[in-house]
Amino acid sequence: MTQSLITAEQRVQLLAVGEARAAGQGIDPVPVVRLFTPDAHATWLLAALDPTDGDTAWGLIDLGIGLPALGTVKLSDLASIVGPRQQSVMRDRYFLAARPLSEYVRLAQENGSITD
């Protein structure tokens, strides 16, 4: 089920950024994938995947409580989340990052949520 959250191509991109971060490179990547709950207000803009476990993703997390922040989340945990109407976390198939992650963070913190 975890695989359905991200495509094979996205996994490769996320792992490449994860490897760069693990090597200590100071990078400001663009988010690779946007995950969301269709029946709640949670959104995850993921930019990296930990190469050691292939499950821990890093990016901008907005749980819909007005405090978006950078953090980590396990894809396996996201795959098990079910919203109030029994809908699972979904991948935005049409998401294409328009800016670096730092800009998404800045805008989300100004607005209290991820706006796009």
pLDDT tens, position by position, 51-90: 999 999 999 999 999 999 999 999 999 999 888 888 899 9
Side-by-side strand order, sheet with 43-49:
69-74, 56-62, 43-49, 33-36, 90-91
Q: What is the pLDDT of residues 15-29, one digit of tens each?
A: 999 999 999 998 999
Q: pLDDT-based confidence at 1, cuts 50/70/90?
A: very low
Q: Does the pTM of the predicted model rise above 0.85?
A: yes
Q: What pLDDT, on the 0 to 100 scale, is given for residue 101?
A: 97
Query: Phi/psi zone of residue 64: left (φ > 0), alpha (ψ -120 to 50 degrees), beta?
Result: left
Place of tokens 């796009």: 116
